[in-house]
Structure 1
Amino acid sequence: MLELAVDDLTVSRGGVPVLERLSFRLGGGEVLVLRGPNGSGKTTLLRTLAGLQPPMAGRISLPPEAIAYGAHADGLKATLTVAENLAFWARIHGTREIEPALDDFNLQSLRNRAAQNLSAGQKRRLGLARLLVTGRPIWLLDEPTVSLDQASVTLFADAVRAHVAAGGAALIATHIDLRLEAGIFDVGPFKADPDAPARTPSPFDEAFA
């Protein structure tokens, strides 16, 4: 059974606790929206769940190789075409098919254009299309609609709906209403004590600061 389980989790930035004692569950077929003001720790939480930095305390339980993480950066190879970028990520994740991703994010007409020649919105659509070629069931998404126009926001929301309808799950940090059937998790009540003593950051922390 697909489930991301978070128990009594504390996450930190630069050795300083940001959020503490977080607990929640996200199962297959579910969307959970992270809410909280800028700087409240949503990105730090997502990076920790994605395995890019260690938690300060608590436990994260999920199936192996389950996470696809969409961050602020689009993660594109500038000199590769749209199709080549998707094919690269498909090979990395052991999948083959890129045509549905091109269709779902309206990229077919751009398939032979180099990523460096795309607009900001087109780059974001390509970055999001990568999710579809990973084969990963749990999507962790940090402000995924940045640079998207309304039509592209609708494409993204439709992709999330299709993903969860197929048994996947999505955890999304966003300030906009995507009109999804979703739970809301407000990180505000879990803000860490700013006067708590900091620990010395490990080299692993600093690599992703």
Structure 2
Amino acid sequence: MPLIVTDLAVARGGVPVLTGVTLRLDPGQALILRGPNGSGKTTLLRTLAGLQPPLSGTIAGAEDRIAYAAHSDGLKSMLSVAENLIFWARVFGRREIDAAVQAFDLHDLRNRLAGTLSAGQKRRLGLARLLVTGRPVWMLDEPTVSLDTGAVALFADAVRAHLAQGGAALIATHIELGLDAAMLDVTPFRATHDTRAGASDEAFL
């Protein structure tokens, strides 16, 4: 099932930032979001992930299908790497974590407390959570922050495997991942006024 976005308008802090966004994301497809900092990429991803309502427009094919990874790694510091993955797998009604451990080279860290990991290791663990959700559509906001070159390659390989299995990915990133992906620059969709609106993303933690 594709994700179809039609004439979408989104707001940050009640102020419209993007209007008229239209896109289609099919199974097996990756789409890279581009645009300068502050252009609305994060707000768009959060809206598509259901974390805030759109101002207008429609989103079809998103229901219970999206896994969202933002700047926060979403880890429980007093749980081990394996325990964090088990926790998130159970949240989504699943149990298997071995594929996630292998994909992000976490085997030697399985028993380490998440709070003792380096920034790059935490990011790998945070991204590994995507694999335990079982959800087919990944929404990723600057996923390679804190990753070294080797870890970026692991991430790109994980995305390719996900696409090969019929998954899809919408990724906001400024770096080249070597993926066979279309590009969408959000700049042409930037709102040109500051009319206040009811939607807000200020409460997101």
Give me the TM-score of the superposition, normalised by structure 1. 0.95
Q: Deviations over 1:23-52 (max 9, x none)?
A: 010010000000000000000000000111
TM-aligned CA deviation for residue 69 of structure 1: 0.1
Gaps of 5+ in 1: none
Does the residue aligned with 1:207 lie in a helix, a strand or coil?
coil
Tell me, in whole angstroms, the C-alpha distance in 2 between the residues paired with 1:30 and 1:207.
Answer: 31
Q: Does 1:197 align with 2:195?
A: yes
- For 1:26, the equivalent position in structure 2 comes to 25
Tell me, in whole angstroms, the C-alpha distance in 2 between the residues paired with 1:13 and 1:141.
Answer: 18
- For 1:120, the equivalent position in structure 2 comes to 119
Q: Deviations over 1:102-144 (max 9, x none)?
A: 0110000000000000000000000000000000000000000
Structure 1 segments (4+ residues) deviating >4 Å: none
Partner AA of 1:156 in structure 2: F
Give me the TM-score of the superposition, normalised by structure 2. 0.97
TM-aligned CA deviation for residue 66 of structure 1: 0.2
Tell me, in whole angstroms, the C-alpha distance in 1 between the residues paired with 2:62 and 2:19.
Answer: 23
- For 2:187, the equivalent position in structure 1 comes to 188
Q: Does 1:93 align with 2:86?
A: no
Task: Work out whether residues 49 and 62 of structure 2, in 8 Å CA contact, stay in contact via their aligned partners in 1.
Answer: no
TM-aligned CA deviation for residue 208 of structure 1: 2.5
TM-aligned CA deviation for residue 64 of structure 1: 2.5
Q: Does 1:52 align with 2:51?
A: yes
Partner AA of 1:67 in structure 2: I
Tell me, in whole angstroms, the C-alpha distance in 1 between the residues paired with 2:131 and 2:202.
Answer: 30
- For 1:154, the equivalent position in structure 2 comes to 153
Does the residue aligned with 1:144 lie in a helix, a strand or coil?
coil
Does the residue aligned with 2:191 lie in a helix, a strand or coil?
coil
- For 2:103, the equivalent position in structure 1 comes to 104
Q: Does 1:77 align with 2:76?
A: yes
Q: Deviations over 1:51-86 (max 9, x none)?
A: 110001101111521000000000000000000000
Partner AA of 1:197 in structure 2: T
Gaps of 5+ in 2: none
Task: Work out whether residues 16 and 196 of structure 2, in 8 Å CA contact, stay in contact via their aligned partners in 1.
Answer: yes
TM-aligned CA deviation for residue 198 of structure 1: 1.2
TM-aligned CA deviation for residue 207 of structure 1: 2.2
Does the residue aligned with 2:76 lie in a helix, a strand or coil?
coil
CA RMSD of aligned residues (A): 1.2
